[in-house]
Amino acid sequence: MRPGPPLFPPLPPPRPDDLAGSTLPEPWAGWVVHRPGWLPASESEALQARLAAEVPWTVHRIRMFGRWVDSPRLSCWMGDAGARYRYSGALFEPEPWHPAVAALLPRLEAASGVRFNSVLLNRYRHGGDSMGWHSDDEPELGPEPVIASLSLGAGRRFLLRLCSDPAQKREWGLAHGDLLLMRGDCQQAAQHALPRMAGVKGERINLTFRWVRPQPSPAPTGPAPARPPRAQPRSAG
């Protein structure tokens, strides 16, 4: 594990370019920073191809309405040893850093103003893969986590809605190489989702970098284990 990051990194001060050109009112403007094309296209292409081929992708089993179900995408939890993550009723041990992701980490940290010790990778095989409404509000992320999300591949819609009034929504288009930061009390006050998009044929990989408080070893009674992906690509939920 790398030495010495604070348990809960402070919120970085807004940078001059964070709000430049943003037409969003508060609270959205304070929650989300979108930097289109943050990673140059040639780097994004090479990274996407490497990650698709070399990451140990699995279908995470998640708890929904009291049942264990396959999540509708492929995933991989990666990070420092001890950066375990409890998510949708399951506890995930981190895979070791992929060298290409580790090489990116200092740039992500410089762009975000905080340290990260882990990343959730999600692979959306086509427009039928998705992520439902949720907040990244697990206790090990701390009270106001800064989450840096890097998108590679097919463009997809990213939605945010208020917990107090779900009809109030905002939408961002996330394209190849885009960086999106979520911060402040975004995870307490809002939920986000990556909806299905019927017309999208291409694949997308998304990496959400986080700082998780290192967790003790799990009790022997674990949740349903993740399993390798099936050959057939379509999934329902």
Ligand X SMILES: O=C(O)CCC(=O)C(=O)O
**Which of the residues 111 through 130 are near ligand X (CB under 6 A)?**
120, 122
Nearer to ligand X (CB atom), residue 18 or residue 174: 174
Establish if 136 lies at the interface with Mn ion (CB under 5 A).
yes
120: partner contacted, choices ligand X, Mn ion, none (Cβ within 5-8 A by kind): ligand X
Helix (H) or strand (E) holding 88: none
Beta-bridge mates of residue 74? 123
Q: Per-residue contact track with ligand X, 175 to 214, x per CB under 6 A?
A: -----------------x-x-----------x-x------
Nearer to Mn ion (CB atom), residue 154 or residue 180: 180
Nearer to ligand X (CB atom), residue 39 or residue 194: 194
**How far apart are CB 120 and Mn ion at their closest, in Å?**
8
Cα angle 213, 162, 140 (rounded to 5 degrees) comes to 5
- Output the six-digit token pair for 211: 């700082």
183: partner contacted, choices ligand X, Mn ion, none (Cβ within 5-8 A by kind): none
**How far apart are CB 127 and ligand X at their closest, in Å?**
13
Establish if 160 lies at the interface with ligand X (CB under 6 A).
no
Q: Residue type for 135, please?
A: S
Question: Are 183 and 143 spatial neighbours (Cβ–Cβ below 8 Å)?
Answer: no
Establish if 58 lies at the interface with ligand X (CB under 6 A).
no
Q: How many of the chain's residues bind ligand X (CB under 6 A)?
A: 11
User: Is the Cα dihedral 144, 210, 34, 192 positive or negative?
Assistant: negative
**How far apart are CB 119 and ligand X at their closest, in Å?**
9
Position of tokens 């709000």? 19
- Output the six-digit token pair for 150: 């890097």
How far apart CA 223 and CA 160 sit, in angstroms, is 29
Q: Which of left, alpha, beta for 49 (phi over 0: left; psi -120 to 50: alpha)?
A: alpha
> Which residue ranges make up the site for Mn ion (CB under 5 A)?
136
